[in-house]
Amino acid sequence: MTTRPNNLDSYWMPFTANKQFKKDPRMLVSADGMYYTSDDGRQIMDTAAGLWCVNAGHNRPKIREAVANQVGELDYCPSFQFGHPKAFELANQVAELFPEGMNHVFFTNSGSESVDTALKIALAYQRTIGQGTRTRLIGRERGYHGTGFGGITVGGLVKNRMYFGSLLTGADHLPHTHNLAKNAFSKGCPEHGAELANELETIVALHDASNIAAVIVEPMAGSTGVLMPPKGYLQKLREICTKYGILLIFDEVITAFGRLGTATASDYFGVKPDIITCAKGLTNGVVPMGGVVVADYIYDTMVEKADSPIELFHGYTYSGHPIAAAAGLATLETYREEGLFERANDLAPYWEHALHQLKDEKNVIDIRNIGLVGAIELEPMAGKRGYDAMVEAYKQGLMIRVTGDILAFSPPFIIEKGEIDQIMDTMRRVLNTID
Ligand code: PXG
Ligand code: PLP
């Protein structure tokens, strides 16, 4: 087992309270199935699938072997002007899983890169069809689209934006849909708020549609604390985008690959966007990889009408990396063989019931759920309550995710009902231990 290094100073940890962490580290040294092992030898249940990515659980044999074999077979292949079979095969399989008529995949290495790629494709497409004035990008308050400049520009989390200057120009934001006064303790999608999609009409009225390239939203917003779309909201957004020739991008970095019990959230909600971003569950988190899946008409138009042999001046050294592609293929095989999306779907009612049992616990102001996702919102305390819950849960053997004072749960799909009960029992104790 790896021992704790003497010096934790050099590693600048992302989205982490570095000073706090380094005083009292939570160090994980191995993982298998539903559990991490900490460096003090405890089993810690993974209630978050890592960071929403380890959908099939840890240390899955097919993925482990595929990665190990690939290193010996083809460790790297240039991504520009050369290809290798597994990247093509993975694109085919992703296209098969994603909505009909979306059969083209651009590979990236993360969700953030997927978002920036999707925004760039939207701008380039509008220009290709002679709509070069369409440059504005519309995001949403409380949206999370990763940490690239494109992503934080359309994103709506103030701390992720306020330190970083003027961002990209020409962005607007739809209002967020979180409304506890009307929707607290909703199971699945809330009843109230579909009309908030009409705010897009206001933005169109302000700028004119001829200046707007795309709208990007998470069909279910994860990072901001788990916000489900109000019933009918996504349908309305789709209608307005279609009416005005605005591309609709679904950021499915969290929701793609089974999180709601279907391959995509687009499937789950029955709404088809023009572009879908994904990452995380594509490789079960084992190797970094993301993808942008585009409608056929976008790819066909761009390839047919390009004014130069290279149709899109964009890409990454590691786009379609062989190790990531091998991990992706083995991941999709694992999902298929074990019927894991169906399993997530089958577990969803049990999950919902168990989670809502905590509604009368101390400081709980909302509980919400969809698919194999759940959130417990606590009476706000500027993030301290959430942080304390995370630290206490870790002491009691659970790894949980927090955003401010909202606790988010998104376990691997291999979770057993007994383990769902165990999460709720532990959380009850945690909530009663902290202030
Ligand atoms: N879009 C969405 C919708 C995401 O959820 C990204 C883009 C960026 O992906 P990368 O791979 O660049 O991190 C994400 C990432 C959390 C949490 O606990 C969520 C994410 C990342 C880390 C933590 O909610 N989502
Ligand atoms: N910076 C420099 C100096 C580079 O040469 C490259 C790639 O060649 C990049 C950034 C981009 O790196 P990546 O393709 O891994 O995103």
Which tens digit of pLDDT belongs to each residue from 192-241? Answer: 999 999 999 999 999 999 999 999 999 999 999 999 999 999 999 999 99
Ligand 2 atom at minimum distance from 316 CA: 14
Question: Within 10 Å of residue 106's Cβ, how many Cβ atoms?
Answer: 25
For strand 104-108 and strand 212-217, is the pairing parallel, antiparallel, or unpaired?
A: unpaired
| Any atom of ligand 1 within 6 Å of the Cβ of 283 | no
Best probe residue, ligand 1, of 140, 223, 390 (max atoms within 8 Å of C-beta) = 223
| Any atom of ligand 2 within 6 Å of the Cβ of 107 | no
pLDDT score, position 2: 60
CA dihedral 387, 389, 390, 393 (to 10 degrees): 160
Distance CA 50, CA 412 (A): 9
Distance 144 CA to ligand 1 centre (A): 7
Question: Within 10 Å of residue 273's Cβ, how many Cβ atoms?
Answer: 30
**How is 123-142 classified by DSSP, letter by letter?**
HHHHHHTT-TT--EEEEETT
Domains of the chain: 18-56+339-433 (3.90.1150.10), 65-337 (3.40.640.10)
Distance CA 397, CA 412 (A): 16
Closest Cα to atom 10 of ligand 1: 111
Strand order in the sheet with 43-46: 28-32, 35-38, 43-46, 398-399
Element (H, E) at 93: helix 85-97
The two three-digit tokens of residue 307, written as one number: 């004014």
| Any atom of ligand 1 within 6 Å of the Cβ of 142 | no
Burial class (CB in 10 A: 0-12, 13-18, 19+), 187: middle
Identity at 33, one-letter amino acid code: G
Distance 318 CA to ligand 2 centre (A): 10
| Any atom of ligand 2 within 6 Å of the Cβ of 318 | yes
Task: Name the 3-class secondary structure at 378.
Answer: strand
Distance 254 CA to ligand 1 centre (A): 7
Tell me the per-residue pLDDT of 51-81, one tens digit each, with 9 for 90 and over: 999 999 999 999 999 999 999 999 999 999 9
Closest Cα to atom 16 of ligand 1: 223
| Any atom of ligand 1 within 6 Å of the Cβ of 154 | no
Task: Say if residues 174 and 199 touch (Cβ distance below 8 Å).
Answer: yes
CA dihedral 137, 176, 219, 207 (to 10 degrees): -20
Ligand 1 atom at minimum distance from 224 CA: 24
Give me the residues of the chain with pLDDT under 50, please: 1
